[in-house]
Amino acid sequence: MKTKVRIRFRTAHRWALGAIAAVGMVAWAAPAHFAQDAPSKSDQVVRVTSGLVNIYAVVRDKNRPVTGLNREDFEIEEDDKPQEIRFFSRETDTPLTLGILIDTSASQVHVLGVEQREATTFIDQVIGKKDLAFVLRFDTEVELLQDLTANKRLLANAIDSTVINRGAGGVVPGPFPTSGGGGTNLHDAVYLSARELLKNEVGRKVIIILSDGEDTGSAKKLSEALEVAQRSDVIIYSIAVIDREFYFARRVGFSGDSTLKRYAEQTGGRVSQVTRSEDTAEAFREIAEELRTQYSLGYTSSNTRRDGTFRKIKIKIRNQNYKVFARRGYYGATE
């Protein structure tokens, strides 16, 4: 029997209902309902036009971002071949499009309140007049609570409206834990956010996931959601607020941190693991700090083939004590 996950995208104008089937097909009742009048902006993490590749990177020295670096401090390789850095800047004012993805499955019952409070504070501090954000929740379904907007009040109201679906994501104990009530659809949430809300935006594009990373019900695989995020030039951060008591009480293992780590590593983001809810504010502060201290590196790829293949990127920094956070590749153009 094929299960279906209900997808609900709500805007100020109307509802659009769709479903993702387990075979991976997506159907939309109204494909033109996404932010038709939202302002557009400039371009982000790897947008390829006529061979030009642009990458946003953050450099850290242990737990602090490194500022004041110059072009000469960086080297770029694509598929192990050196590339000439043609464009370099320190990014502070490039417009931002941000998605807040909130896990409302049962495993988050003890941490949702602090996530709501700190996410609202983050939005208030980070979103400027040139920026846009949306709020989405996921459990057995994916629901867009607030479409792209710069209105902080609307975003705060959407965050505050999230409630736990106590029938969702309840993990049934046993040698092979299964989901009770339909599961937690993290991959579907990432897939839809990247494809339907961020793909056609320009400027810096960022997703922040508030979840323990467990996915027990998505129609889309992690690899599918990750590919769409990469093709849409999205950086994915995660704040993993893990309620270990929830899993211990149900005698099941926890493995969601590896999922969140893969999303972050492949797109240039980071995972902040929070075992105490009061540390959530610090995790948001670190993300805000990174968004203010990014470097933009641009080069013209020496690979002129338009074959749509994935090209691996490696960014090296002169000071070997520093660590660079940037996406690990991009998909070449096809036409």
304 and 156 together in one domain: no
81 and 108 together in one domain: no
DSSP category for residue 108: G
Question: For residues 96 and 204, is the Cβ–Cβ distance under 8 A?
Answer: yes
How many domains would you assign to the chain?
2
| pLDDT the model gives residue 255 | 54
Residue 304 is assigned to a structural domain of this protein: yes
227 and 305 together in one domain: no
CA gap 161, 61 in Å, rounded: 38
Give Cα 67 to chain centroid, integer Å: 24
88 and 111 together in one domain: no
pLDDT at 28 over 70: no
pLDDT at 48 over 50: no
* E strand or H helix that includes residue 151: none
Tokens of 244: 């270990």
Residue 38 is assigned to a structural domain of this protein: no
pLDDT digits (tens, 9 = 90+) for 140-162: 999 999 999 999 999 999 999 99
214 and 305 together in one domain: no
86 and 102 together in one domain: no
Model-level pTM? Answer: 0.82
Containing structural domain, residue 300:
52-92+293-331
- Phi and psi dihedrals of 192, rounded to 5? -70, -40
CA gap 278, 287 in Å, rounded: 16
221 and 323 together in one domain: no
| pLDDT the model gives residue 195 | 97
Residue whose entry in the numeric block shows the structure tokens 């979840």? 211
213 and 302 together in one domain: no
| pLDDT the model gives residue 65 | 93
- By 3-state DSSP, what share of the chain in percent is helix, strand and coil, each rounded to 5? 25, 35, 40
Residue 40 is assigned to a structural domain of this protein: no
100 and 211 together in one domain: yes
179 and 266 together in one domain: yes
CA gap 245, 251 in Å, rounded: 10
Question: For residues 233 and 194, is the Cβ–Cβ distance under 8 A?
Answer: no
Q: At what angle do helices 152-160 and 112-126 cross, to 10 degrees?
A: 170
CA gap 175, 185 in Å, rounded: 22
Torsion-angle region of 246 (φ positive above 0: left; ψ -120 to 50: alpha; else: beta): alpha
pLDDT digits (tens, 9 = 90+) for 209-260: 999 998 989 999 999 999 999 999 999 999 998 765 654 445 444 556 899 9
Most confident range, picked from 52-56, 78-82, 89-93, 273-277:
78-82
| pLDDT the model gives residue 168 | 52
pLDDT at 321 over 50: yes
What average pLDDT is seen over the chain?
81
